[in-house]
Structure 1
Amino acid sequence: MLEITNLVKTFAGDRQPRRENGDRAASRVRAVDDISIDVRDGELFTLLGPSGCGKTTTLRSVAGLERPDSGEISVAGRVLFSGGSSRTFHLPPNQRGLGMVFQSYAIWPHMKVFDNVAFPLQVMSRGSRPGKKAIAEKVMSVLETMELAHLAGRQATKLSGGQQQRLALARALVTEPPLLLLDEPLSNLDAKLRESLRFELKRMQRELGITSVYVTHDQIEALALSSRIAVMRDGKIMQTGTPRDIYERPDNRFVAEFIGTSNFLSGTVAGHENGLLAVDTEHGQLLVRAEVRPGTGEAVVLAARPEAVALTDQAPTHDTPNQLTGSVVTRSFVGDAVDHIVRVGGQEVRARCEPSVSLAPSTTVTLRIDPANLTLIPVGD
């Protein structure tokens, strides 16, 4: 559906020191650094990353609101942008036929709900513009989908935040675009409403089957909504995969740290044992099930999610691998779980347990990590 190939977008950076001739050239900052993305038909694809990573610039490039330096963007085989060292083709935003929902919603305050949704149809070119009856039918149909039909005659400014968000979605969908672009549409809502609309948005996207590209910095939002996620950093894509792959099998330390919380244990490869990789750490030898096979003596980092760390006040057993002994530093009840911070040697390890497990500070405990729940990360990633 959406294909982005070798996309580059730069902006002017800080001025450099004066040259001998007195000139000071401005450096260029690569906001999007040679990325390639393939979004499949009907999926919700999320660009996830911290502020300044290039995710919104990528989205705006697809929408036509930014002109990239080079690369190619196409939707359903139709080229929207193609550029490089020679000729550049840039289709204007109003000719791309894409739907877009902005962070601020950008609804028209002087119009009623019906008129906000009808406007994109009314300004179509004469040859493709529907008749008044067809426009009314299309508008009421999409308003019913958004559960806003009963508010069609209300002034847009009289809607709640959640209703305004659904109105912006309705306006983007009424033209039946081949691709829907969403730029952090839930970020202005309070936490409870954001969670509610997250599921509503996922339901709507699945029912309509519309291909969507979603931009957010919220990890939970990305995991809950997405078919696939591309994690970005400094204009580059660090990893692309399903939410489960991204969370359970991060390719590098940045992804492991950015998506949720991870414990990191440094060590060196000691060898292979029964299909597992043995890693020597300062806390003892740990076994990990890994697809890659680093050489013996190579430095690696092991990552474990807090919920993958089992906690008990019983002594270590002789027949169980991957056991660490430590002392509880503190614990925190978070509703559906209890987080324990355990000091193991000179390092703190977080273990997330079910609410019935709550061990007091200073308790000597044993941590157990299944080899399948450890992720091997090469040093430097």
Structure 2
Amino acid sequence: MLEIANLIKSFPGEKPKGHKGAPPKVLAINDVNLQVERGEMFTLLGPSGCGKTTTLRSIAGLEAPDSGKITVGGRTFFHAGDGVPTVNVAANQRGLGMVFQSYAIWPHMTVFDNVAFPLQVMPRNTRPSKKEIKARVMRVLETLELAHYADRQATKLSGGQQQRLALGRGIIIEPELLLLDEPLSNLDAKLRESLRFELKRLQRELGITSIYVTHDQVEALSLSSNIAVMKDGAVQQVGKPRDIYERPRNHFVADFIGTSNFIEAKVIESSNGEYRLETAAGVLKVSSGASVPTGTKVVASIRPESMDLSTQPIASENVWQGRVVARAFLGDAVDHVVAVGETEVRVRTAASVSLEPGTEVYVHLKAESISLVPAD
């Protein structure tokens, strides 16, 4: 449905003192390749400055990349480089819906008129009749649970209602592709959580292919069909939320998504996806689909919730003996920091398990829950 090929976008950088000539260029998008299927909620995830918003703006036509190709539904929106004539369809000719970080609603209009506006300004030969506009607007407002506010001034809605209104204005034109640029970031934590589920429900009911930009890992994991993790303008990994979380491809992805323990190790034995690692805290047995030769230095990435903690010996492989040095109550869980020799690991337990610092414990590291990532 959406295809992005070899997309590159640069901006002029700061000119060093005494530098003559044009300032050096900074790559905002560095050879990005993505494919999004129809009906997906596809998320671009990464820290500030990683290129995710520039990628979204390039799809929308608000930025002109240096080179590459963007195709939506078989229609080329942008193509430059490769010795071909440049194609760059204007933003208002792309027919895409967009919801911004700010609500950007018209304060002098009612809720109904805000949603109706994109239809009312369409060219006369494609503009729906007034009757059809009213029917479509009311249908969208009912879906968003805003129908009974149709005649209210938009500025008299709550923050969450205004965000839903902005979403309604984005979907009223029934776009092939809906672009969402951190639309929940201005809301408080409780409201963001409720609107995540609302947004996911609406996207599935309406079947609109959506590109969602966020730096919030929880938001990405809970909303997405697929996620592209970005860093320094490049895509680090693309996959389903569970795959990204449980099988990170590199240290950056493992560190950025959720919380992880990183243990430096060396592969001392490997056979059919079973590895034995030598670490400062002891030997680890790991089950992994990664292809890592014996003798390779790696980093074992272990999520805190994938380990078991006990005050009694555990009859299993991958059991380390240690001592609790700190703990933190998180509401639904307790994080324990356990010292195993010179190595410290973070273990997350149920809220009912809370062990005082100084307690001698046993940590069970599950072989199938350990990811191997390349050593930096």
Please give the secondary structure, in 1, of the residue aligned with 2:205.
helix
Matched, 1:36 2:33: yes
Look up the match of 1:123. 121
Is the 1:16–1:24 Cα contact (8 Å) retained in structure 2?
A: no
Cα deviation for residue 276 of structure 1 reads: 1.2
Look up the match of 1:356. 352
Q: Structure 2 unaligned segments of length 5 or more: list them.
A: none
Look up the match of 1:77. 74
Structure 2 matches for 1:94-109, cutoff 5 A?
Answer: 94-109=92-107
Alignment identity in percent? 61
Please give the secondary structure, in 2, of the residue aligned with 1:198.
helix
Cα deviation for residue 293 of structure 1 reads: 3.0
Please give the secondary structure, in 1, of the residue aligned with 2:248.
coil
The whole-number CA distance in structure 1 between the counterparts of 2:340 and 2:294 is: 25
Q: CA RMSD in A?
A: 1.2
Is the 1:59–1:215 Cα contact (8 Å) retained in structure 2?
A: yes
Is the 2:120–2:127 Cα contact (8 Å) retained in structure 1?
A: yes
Please give the secondary structure, in 2, of the residue aligned with 1:68.
coil
Which amino acid is the alignment partner of residue 13 of structure 2? Answer: G
Look up the match of 1:374. 370
Say if 1:274 and 1:126 are closer, same or farther in 2 by CA, change over 3 A. closer
The whole-number CA distance in structure 2 between the counterparts of 1:36 and 1:331 is: 43
Instruction: Calculate the TM-score normalised by the size of structure 2.
Output: 0.97
Is the 2:43–2:212 Cα contact (8 Å) retained in structure 1?
A: yes
Structure 2 matches for 1:10-29, cutoff 5 A?
Answer: 10-16=10-16, 18=18, 23-29=20-26
Deviations 1:131-172 (A, max 9, x none): 111111111111111111111111111110000000001101
Cα deviation for residue 356 of structure 1 reads: 2.0
The whole-number CA distance in structure 1 between the counterparts of 2:115 and 2:290 is: 52
Say if 1:94 and 1:111 are closer, same or farther in 2 by CA, change over 3 A. same
Look up the match of 1:9. 9
Matched, 1:55 2:52: yes
Look up the match of 2:341. 345
Please give the secondary structure, in 1, of the residue aligned with 2:335.
strand
Which amino acid is the alignment partner of residue 311 of structure 1? Answer: L
Cα deviation for residue 273 of structure 1 reads: 5.4
Is the 1:54–1:234 Cα contact (8 Å) retained in structure 2?
A: yes
Structure 2 matches for 1:211-250, cutoff 5 A?
Answer: 211-250=209-248
Which amino acid is the alignment partner of residue 241 of structure 1? Answer: G
Cα deviation for residue 4 of structure 1 reads: 0.5
The number of residue pairs the alignment matches comes to 375
Cα deviation for residue 315 of structure 1 reads: 3.0
Deviations 1:307-362 (A, max 9, x none): 00110111354xx2111111101111212111111112222211011122111100
The whole-number CA distance in structure 2 between the counterparts of 1:273 and 1:132 is: 70
Is the 1:18–1:24 Cα contact (8 Å) retained in structure 2?
A: no
Please give the secondary structure, in 2, of the residue aligned with 1:147.
coil
The whole-number CA distance in structure 2 between the counterparts of 1:355 and 1:348 is: 21
The whole-number CA distance in structure 2 between the counterparts of 1:174 and 1:301 is: 48
Which amino acid is the alignment partner of residue 107 of structure 1? Answer: I
Which amino acid is the alignment partner of residue 342 of structure 1? Answer: V
Please give the secondary structure, in 2, of the residue aligned with 1:117.
helix
Look up the match of 1:283. 281
The whole-number CA distance in structure 2 between the counterparts of 1:292 and 1:189 is: 40
Structure 2 matches for 1:294-305, cutoff 5 A?
Answer: 294-305=292-303
Structure 2 matches for 1:128-277, cutoff 5 A?
Answer: 128-272=126-270, 275-277=273-275
Look up the match of 1:333. 329
Please give the secondary structure, in 2, of the residue aligned with 1:220.
helix
Please give the secondary structure, in 2, of the residue aligned with 1:26.
coil
Cα deviation for residue 16 of structure 1 reads: 3.8
Look up the match of 2:361. 365
The whole-number CA distance in structure 2 between the counterparts of 1:357 and 1:130 is: 61
Please give the secondary structure, in 2, of the residue aligned with 1:42.
coil
Deviations 1:243-292 (A, max 9, x none): 00000000001000000000011111111257511111111110111112
Cα deviation for residue 76 of structure 1 reads: 0.4
Which amino acid is the alignment partner of residue 72 of structure 2? Answer: V
Look up the match of 2:43. 46
Is the 1:186–1:194 Cα contact (8 Å) retained in structure 2?
A: yes
Deviates more, 1:105-114 or 1:225-234: 105-114
The whole-number CA distance in structure 1 between the counterparts of 2:237 and 2:196 is: 23
Please give the secondary structure, in 2, of the residue aligned with 1:129.
coil
Say if 1:114 and 1:16 are closer, same or farther in 2 by CA, change over 3 A. same
Please give the secondary structure, in 1, of the residue aligned with 2:39.
coil
The whole-number CA distance in structure 1 between the counterparts of 2:30 and 2:266 is: 33
The whole-number CA distance in structure 2 between the counterparts of 1:83 and 1:358 is: 59
Say if 1:275 and 1:142 are closer, same or farther in 2 by CA, change over 3 A. closer
Deviations 1:46-78 (A, max 9, x none): 000000000000000000011111000011000
